[in-house]
Structure 1
Amino acid sequence: MARESFDKEIQFLRMLALAGGAYSRQQFAERLGISVHTYDKTLRNLKEMLGTLQQGNLNEQGSELSEGLRYNYYESADPLLLFLFRAKSLKETESIRLTLLLTALQSQELTAKDLQDLCSDQMPAEFPLPDEKTVRGDLKYLEDVGVIMRMSGTRPYRYKASNDLIDRLSEEELLDLFDYVDVVANTQVPSVQGYLLRATLKKALLKRGFDTDAAESHRYKYHYHSRILDEAHLYPIFRAIQRRRTLRFLYLSPKKGKNYSSQNTNPLFERETEGNMQTLLPLRVVYDHQYGRWYVIGHSPRLGLMKFRMEGLTQVEEGESVSEDYFTQRLNAILEQMKYSWVTDTLRPIKVAARFYNPDRSGANFVRERVEAQGQWGTITEESDSTFRFEIIVNGVNEIKPWLRSFGSSCEVLEPSWLRREFIAEWKEIRDYYESVRENL
């Protein structure tokens, strides 16, 4: 898949997940910045891509696509169209060819020549037949990523699928492993690798005759589909940080309502882009648990410290490298500026104090446990059996406010006094929303 296409698919899927059926085709296309024709074409490409990876017919593809977008509170289905990650950076011919190779190697050991003959027999007529060099390149790639293994012996070498771990597990052990991966993938970040492993284990259970719906013992309401899609940028950014390289990208601010800007190659249809081209030396990646957002923090030669939400990054390209001394200097400067950042704020440090109320009932103190787990560098001081005091210095209060507010009546803001007054005004406004319309209602 071309890089530009992948950017478009990500933004397309994000809007489908967040807006569902709220937009008409015309409204959806306008919000995304594409034509209705491109909207139809992109939707058709997604269905075809899903069919290639699932090897189903077109009717089933449409059904599967709808199921991936259907909202159900108790459903813990795979996150929104995770298949997009499997198709990333693969041409259509590559995805079909790799599928054929992996399917054949599941049950037998084959040479490169055997696999070339198999591809020649089973490749669709509209695609070119691979030569031996292409097949050997595919085998080397699959061996490097650990999907297949080369058997010991003399030439010609034989290959088989690397399923030893799964094959040696008993049915009970395989179910335990599936449950563990299911929990971790749904609760930890980043998640994409965990969901890909979960899909592999699910196929192994199906192969042994298990009904995976009955086998799943955990149910989740998955909140942040966009978090999964933003992980497409995560590893390229990590690679740029490790290599001390700059990144160049087109940034579409989420606040402006534009999600995508096409790369116009025809001068007749060229138009001014909605976003801004940025050059950044990436230094840190930050995840906001409150809203399920990824941020990249870095240094701009022109503007200094810069923060970007990953969902606005498109057309990401790696640039030139910088010296280790320069990189270390910029990293230390940013770490000092963000020393007291709740997430990414770099405003003036301020002390925040709050009183938390323990639950009245006996058992787990979920209020205390949550403050200890999420309170970062804040300190806790016991006040009484029913309350404790939490104090922390943060860069501004904009990012910590939603966290304090989420505790409801279990949290009372004490300092600063102006923040306390803001909370009082907010709770009074909420109370007014629930005033009775009639006295006898």
Structure 2
Amino acid sequence: MSEFQELVKSFPKTREYVRDFFVYGFKTRNEFKNKSPRTYDNERRRLESWLSPYVRKDHVSGGSNISLAIDSSLLDTNPLFRVWKTKSFTDNDIVLHFLILDLLQEGLPLTAEAITDLLLTKYEALFDIQTVRRKCNAYAKEGLLEKRKDGKAVVFSLSLTLVQWLKSNENMLDALSFYQMSEVFGIIGNELTEQLDCENQTFRVKHSFCVHTLEDEILLKLLDAMNQRLRIRLELKSSKNGNSAASACVPLQILISARTGRRYLCGYMHRRQRFSCFRLDSIKSITPLDSSLEYDDLLNKLKQNRSKLWGVSFQGENGRRLDKLTMTVQVFEPTENYIVERLKREGRGGSVIRIARNVYQYEIEVFDCNEMLPWVRTFIGRILSLTCTSKSVEQRFYRDLQAMYEMYEIPQDISKL
């Protein structure tokens, strides 16, 4: 039987489990249908090891379920950064890591052959030259070492440029502390501050979406494909039913919800000849394809369509391009003029017209009026009428309103409104 290892080889598998516990949560061992009990136990133990201060167990009739209880406003860093720091390694990996860096501490550039000889004479560690050269090249690619030509020889030296610059600019430590809490790829700021033995003593973020660091690997690949103007193939997994699918598109823009913080890839699908959005947390992997020759044209078309986009959906009922929603609200003037200002501020370009004393009409054309309903419901109690060219949206609004009246046992027939 293989021994349990806290470190992992495959980050995508770990990302899926952290999402199950953190995002969805509240599942017992028996509810993880697609995984074996042993796999579940191993992943649970890893999570408890990495994130023990935040793990919560709730005992229920079917066993116990595990979730992560994290109050982002109290954190000085993102605890999920620890997940990135658990990659497995071989014995040679860890030995070479420390010995090579120790050899180069004096600042003298050395060839791979010289490093191999010093490993044997100074540490009595015998390694093949090719193994040492591969490790040095890998570290040069990662930025840990500097690689340059000295005549015909290739020499390696310790890269201290960034560390020295950071130490000479102390204000940058505050910037890095803030960056790791508030921006994408915050793990970079966290790594740099840890290398300098600096802790975030200044900043706290009230509304921080810790779990989004799990998507940063996918986001980096998307941004790289966008910079190279490539088509890509996405492997997707639905968070609702667990079904997998593949889709090809031209990645154009990353959209972030100001309300939920959820991130989406907006791309153009040639097969369907339309724009579409994909949640980043549903993307399992990305495969680069060929270059897109019409990338600039697609960006311009997306820019034009964005003005008619309420959320992230580009298609309304029955494939119709645009739907119109009209809402009439009651506003007692002048004491409630702030309602009118809110309609103008939050209405995303919709028209607001005063049609009578204390009565205003809001009207807008968007791709998918379904996305508007959560915002529309915040005006319940003031809405005099609501109509939409998408009848399913209209019916859904009045049906939900009728259900609310029934829930509170208020006699009311919505059909007469």
TM (norm. structure 2) is: 0.66
Of residues 13, 16, 19, the one that matches 1:8 is 13
Shift of the alpha carbon at 1:367? 9.9
Query: Is the CA contact (8 Å cut-off) linking 1:356 and 1:390 kept in structure 2?
Result: no
Shift of the alpha carbon at 1:99? 6.3
Of residues 350, 358, 371, the one that matches 2:323 is 350
Specify the SS of the correspondent of 1:82: helix
**Residue in structure 2 matched with residue 75 of structure 1 by the alignment:** 74
**Residue in structure 2 matched with residue 92 of structure 1 by the alignment:** 89
Q: Which digits, 9 at most, give the CA deviation of each residue in 1:402-438, with x for residues without a partner?
A: 2344x466975865378788656645644665679xx
**Mapped partners of 1:167, 1:332: distance in 2:** 44
Indicate the larger mover: 346-355 or 133-142: 346-355
Larger Rg: 2
Q: Which digits, 9 at most, give the CA deviation of each residue in 1:342-363, with x for residues without a partner?
A: 12233242344566979x99xx
Query: Is the CA contact (8 Å cut-off) linking 1:350 and 1:394 kept in structure 2?
Result: yes
**Residue in structure 2 matched with residue 341 of structure 1 by the alignment:** 309
**Residue in structure 1 matched with residue 107 of structure 2 by the alignment:** 109
1:330/1:120 CA distance change after superposition, 3 Å: farther
Q: Which digits, 9 at most, give the CA deviation of each residue in 1:385-415, with x for residues without a partner?
A: x99976543113111222344x466975865
Specify the SS of the correspondent of 1:255: coil
1:330/1:177 CA distance change after superposition, 3 Å: closer
**Residue in structure 1 matched with residue 158 of structure 2 by the alignment:** 159
Q: Which digits, 9 at most, give the CA deviation of each residue in 1:35-90, with x for residues without a partner?
A: 2223334456x56xxxxxxxxxxx96463674993334743254452244456xx7
Specify the SS of the correspondent of 1:13: helix
Q: Which runs of 5+ in 2 are unaligned?
A: 1-7, 57-66, 411-417
**Residue in structure 2 matched with residue 17 of structure 1 by the alignment:** 22
Query: Is the CA contact (8 Å cut-off) linking 1:151 and 1:159 kept in structure 2?
Result: no
Between Structure 1 and Structure 2, which shows a larger proportion of strand residues?
A: 2
Q: Which runs of 5+ in 1 are unaligned?
A: 48-58, 259-273, 437-441
Query: What RMSD, in angstroms, separates the aligned Cα atoms of the two structures?
Result: 5.2
1:137/1:16 CA distance change after superposition, 3 Å: same
1:368/1:96 CA distance change after superposition, 3 Å: farther
Shift of the alpha carbon at 1:242? 3.1
Structure ranking higher on relative contact order (CA contacts 8 Å, 6+ apart): 1
**Residue in structure 1 matched with residue 223 of structure 2 by the alignment:** 238
Of residues 309, 317, 320, the one that matches 2:279 is 309
**Residue in structure 2 matched with residue 261 of structure 1 by the alignment:** none
State whether structure 2 residue 185 is matched by structure 1 residue 193: yes
**Residue in structure 2 matched with residue 218 of structure 1 by the alignment:** 204
**Mapped partners of 1:240, 1:117: distance in 2:** 42
Q: Counterpart amino acid of 1:321?
A: S
Shift of the alpha carbon at 1:14? 0.7
Query: Is the CA contact (8 Å cut-off) linking 1:148 and 1:160 kept in structure 2?
Result: yes
Shift of the alpha carbon at 1:140? 1.7
1:64/1:120 CA distance change after superposition, 3 Å: farther
Percent identity, please.
18
State whether structure 2 residue 52 is matched by structure 1 residue 63: yes
Query: Is the CA contact (8 Å cut-off) linking 2:322 and 2:365 kept in structure 1?
Result: yes
Query: Is the CA contact (8 Å cut-off) linking 1:252 and 1:313 kept in structure 2?
Result: yes
Q: Which digits, 9 at most, give the CA deviation of each residue in 1:8-53, with x for residues without a partner?
A: 2222111110233x2222312x1xx222223334456x56xxxxxx
TM (norm. structure 1) is: 0.63
Query: Is the CA contact (8 Å cut-off) linking 1:295 and 1:310 kept in structure 2?
Result: yes
**Residue in structure 1 matched with residue 387 of structure 2 by the alignment:** 416
Shift of the alpha carbon at 1:295? 2.8
Query: Is the CA contact (8 Å cut-off) linking 1:379 and 1:390 kept in structure 2?
Result: yes
**Residue in structure 2 matched with residue 400 of structure 1 by the alignment:** 372
Query: Is the CA contact (8 Å cut-off) linking 1:101 and 1:115 kept in structure 2?
Result: no
Q: Which digits, 9 at most, give the CA deviation of each residue in 1:97-148, with x for residues without a partner?
A: 796489759976364569768988999x9x99984312431342133xxx66
Specify the SS of the correspondent of 2:206: coil
How many residue pairs are counted as aligned between the two chains? 372
Specify the SS of the correspondent of 1:320: strand
Equivalent residues in 2 for 1:369-388 (5 A)?
Answer: 372=345, 375-378=347-350
Q: Counterpart amino acid of 2:20?
A: M
